[in-house]
Structure 1
């Protein structure tokens, strides 16, 4: 199972990625664009999710489009989920502690890919 240390390591290993600590939550950005972030769930969201809700924050991830959100949630419903408003936008939430490191590596890299400038995407492609 994955941990927030894995999230941090994967995100910061991507070209141009930086961590921003907002005090209560962290986000990972490439340039000025967030590609992953800690998302604190609201009380009503926790109530609707019940025991599917993470104990702490969820991992928010940018996706290429809302269709990718649907595909992730359908493929791994124990790991990926949405709350009101998230399914309408190209963003998905992940339950870090239920994910495999490989799940997170792929999802975080794809999130970064959606936000990174071409020169950095080319750098990653050359690795």
Structure 2
């Protein structure tokens, strides 16, 4: 089971990530764009994903870990239960979310720099539809700068 401290440690390990408050809870940003937020319950993380199809795939693959609420209907945003993922998977999920929000040049620099921790490169143990796997940086929805 991961904790809020694990979320903080992994999120802030990503390039140019900063912590701010959103709706009174910790949230993580890259160049002014949020990529993760701890919900009010304190044991659920809100993450953007590449598409509503990716969101549906995550929920179908593991409804114990991933879910949504009516508030997020129509949004490419998924909720993750802290108790259902380990730190490695959390790092992968945060990296994928960071990639969606970070400028293309920052993602490219991240992909070409020697990683201090390969777990932050998006090499997941769980198949996530649309995830760029193996740190290849290829996402059809990613902006380029």
Is TM (by shorter chain) over 0.5? yes
Q: State TM-score, norm by structure 2.
A: 0.72
CA distance in 2, matches of 1:122, 1:22: 28
User: Aligned partners of 1:68, 1:87: CA distance in 2, in Å?
Assistant: 13
CA contact (8 A) 1:70 1:87 kept: no
Contact 1:15 1:123 in 2 (8 A): no
Number of matched pairs: 113
Q: What SS does the corresponding residue of 1:85 show, helix, strand or coil?
A: helix
CA distance in 2: counterparts of 1:10 and 1:24, whole angstroms = 20
Instruction: Report the equivalent of 2:20.
Output: 20
**Structure 1: unaligned runs, 5 residues or longer:** 41-54
Who is 2:106 aligned against? Answer: 120
Which residue of 47, 58, 65 corresponds with 1:79? 65
TM-score (norm 1): 0.81
Given the superposition, is the C-alpha separation of residues 72 and 87 from structure 1 closer, same or farther in structure 2, using an over 3 Å criterion? farther
Residue 96 of structure 1: which of 82, 97, 100 is its match? 82
Q: 81-90 or 28-37, which moves further after superposition?
A: 81-90
**More helix as a share of residues:** 1
What do you get for the CA RMSD once the two structures are aligned? 1.6
> What is the CA–CA distance in structure 2 between the aligned matches of 1:56 and 1:27, rounded to whole Å?
12
Supply the distance in 2 between the matched residues of 1:68 and 1:114 (Cα, whole angstroms).
Answer: 13
Q: Which runs of 5+ in 2 are unaligned?
A: 116-145
Q: Secondary structure at the match of 2:70?
A: coil
1:4 is matched with: 4
